Chains A and B, each alone.
Chain A
Amino acid sequence: MIGKYVIIGNSAAALAATGSIRKYDHDGSMLLLNRETGPAYSRVALPYYVSGELTLEQLLIRQRADYATTDVELVENANVVRIDADGRQVELADGRRVGYEKLLIATGSVCAVPPIRGLETITPHYLWTLEDAKRMRTAAERARTAVVIGGGFIGMLIAEALRKLGIRLTIVEMAPQLLPQLLDAEGGALFLDAVKDEGVTVRLKSVVEAVAKVEGQTEVTLRGGETVAADMVAVAAGVRPDVSVVANGPCAINKGVLVNEHLETSCPGVYAAGDVAEVKDFLSADRTIHAIWPVAVDQGVVAGANMAGKRLAYPGSLGMNVVELFKLTLAEVGRFRESATDDVKLLGGSGSALYRKVVVDREGRLAGAMYLGDPNGVAEMGVLHGMIKRRAYWRELAQHRQARISYAYGIYAAARGV
């Protein structure tokens, strides 16, 4: 097999790249090497499949025919084991070789496996792939109790899905708060109340030492010796970039695959985008990985353009996330945990917001924001997001007695020459 453009992956970054490549190169051959089978599904939607709110069909974001429409060949069960940068080809586990002119590594993340004694003796549930989701759904149909190890983003999505099925839950989290990547301490405390109100048991600052099968159940032992027994155990200890295709070279890696501002790796003609790529942070310019869907899409667009000869610079990755959990909508953008030189504009609760916060850097520019409250309040986070992206100043919102987060006020202020 040979393709002018070869893309390893079949999710957010990979699909965005195919669209971007087609925009600049109408007929160059394109191959998508998909380790799984079937057309692309939305990873973001998997928890809704577990809870029974979506069918398998509804998870699909591409039909097989869609690939043909844009002249992209989807190669299934294509497990890339090695990249031969000198020979410009990749090697698959089954021995097949695929030649390329331009290659994109968009392998995403894999679930981290925490060091828990006995984990290999039980069947822990992860939630990352469609197969994971199918297995979890089957187990959840029979389970009455569950332990979720990890109270981060994915752990809480699993918890919410299982709770909707009426399963009694215990969440175990090492950090002193839930959702440490999404909320500051105060937001975490408010969220904890919402979770507890739903009858969920939460164990913070707790570490799982061991798991074992005991009388048809799984027994989870916490540090300190306390045990919790449950019908099923889900593990959500975070994700890490899937650098397996370049683990032994040839591209430079750190946590993820290192890329320049055109998202090209240290190997000429080889690009990386999405969770697997370690990129520049939009705000700090440090190297970072924001393993989220919209960032992966942005990077796929930029990488695809560069692959097709359109030089585009990636402005850097800006963290953002939003999720509705336990009847609360949570959203964050940028640096919502202030650094020593930042100023915090704590807007407190009002209207639809239970809690909101805006972080401003030493130059007075917006750097981050966080929100807890009703769903519609996320719209003002969109405005702040747009302002952070254009490095706007807080004073554009705060000229008058009370700061109003509104695009309308921003342009009024701009027109007045504030």
Chain B
Amino acid sequence: MKQIVVHQEKCTACRDCELACSFEHTGRFVPALSRIRVNDFYEEQFYLPMTCVHCADAPCATVCPTVAIQRQLDGQILVMEERCIGCKMCLLACPFGVMGFQPDEGVAQNCDLCGGDPQCVAFCVPKALEYADVETDATARQKMYAATVRQSLLVGH
């Protein structure tokens, strides 16, 4: 499936992705409402945008007590807002820390790929984000972040 691929070494922590995501989903520029988050370690000069990787063996979907998190036919993991009771078990289950919570609606939220036209990618000036096909193999996908980091360390340090 196509999803957000991160080229960590290109990220400058400008956070335009967070603004684009927030605006696309809420009509407001509020970074806290973004479904993609730039992790910044300024001392190390290390920046890593993270968002949902739609795990093949998604712990968020497994723990959801109301079956509100379901895999779509294209492989995407989506929160069905009308089924979500806001219990936050999925936030507690996500080892990447990328499941979010929309406080106004009281529901969990993850990256919905903007229906196929992800705005974080569209507004990423340094092209650190890409919307591309990734391996569907679960392990490969879940190791994506680790791999990009190792690669950038080899290149950059």
Contacts and interface: CB of A to CB of B under 8 A. Distances in A.
Interface of A: 12, 16, 42-45, 48, 53-54, 58, 61-62, 293-294, 297-298, 301, 320-324, 329, 331, 333, 374-376, 378-383, 385-387, 389, 400-401, 404-409, 411-412, 414-416
Nearest to B148: A411
A298 B96 CA distance: 19
A61 B39 contact: no
B88 interface: yes
Interface in B49-95: 50, 62-63, 65-67, 83, 85-89, 91-95
B95 A383 contact: yes
12 contacts: A44-B85, A45-B85, A298-B62, A331-B88, A378-B88, A381-B92, A382-B91, A382-B96, A382-B99, A383-B96, A407-B50, A411-B149
B115 interface: no
Contacts of B46: 408, 412
Contacts of A408: 39, 41, 46, 48, 50, 145, 149
A406 B100 CA distance: 14
A406 B48 CA distance: 10
B25 interface: no
B85 A54 contact: yes
B127 interface: no
Nearest to B86: A324
Nearest to A320: B92
Given A48-B85, A407-B50, A408-B48, 5 more contacts: A45-B85, A376-B103, A379-B99, A379-B100, A407-B145
Nearest to A11: B65
A329 B87 CA distance: 10
Contact of B63 (A45, A294, A331): A294
Contact of B92 (A322, A405, A415): A322
Contacts of A376: 32, 91, 100-101, 103
Contact of B94 (A48, A53, A333, A382): A382
Given A294-B63, A379-B100, A411 B146 contact: yes
B101 A375 contact: yes
Contacts of B101: 375-376, 378-379
Contact of B150 (A45, A333, A415): A415
B153 interface: yes
B32 A322 contact: no
A409 B97 contact: no
Contacts of B146: 411, 414-415
B89 A379 contact: no
Q: Which of A12, A48, A331, A375 has the most CB of B within 10 A?
A: A375
B32 A404 contact: no
A412 B93 contact: no
A108 B74 CA distance: 35
B44 interface: yes
A412 B44 contact: yes
A42 B63 CA distance: 12
Contacts of A42: 65-67, 85
A288 B46 CA distance: 42
Given A407-B50, A415-B153, A416-B153, A375 B66 contact: no
A206 to B, nearest CB: 29
Contacts of A407: 39, 50, 95-98, 145
B65 A293 contact: yes
Contacts of A414: 146
Contacts of A375: 86, 88, 91, 101, 103
A244 B43 CA distance: 59
A415 B149 contact: yes
A16 B64 CA distance: 12
B65 A45 contact: yes
A40 B40 CA distance: 44
A12 B85 contact: no
Contacts of B88: 322-324, 329, 331, 375, 378
A389 B98 CA distance: 17
Given A406-B39, A407-B145, A412-B149, A386 B95 contact: yes
Contacts of B65: 12, 42-45, 61, 293
Interface in B19-56: 32, 39, 41, 43-44, 46, 48, 50
A385 B92 contact: yes
Given A408-B39, A408-B145, A44 B87 contact: yes
A374 B88 CA distance: 11
B97 A406 contact: yes
A391 to B, nearest CB: 13
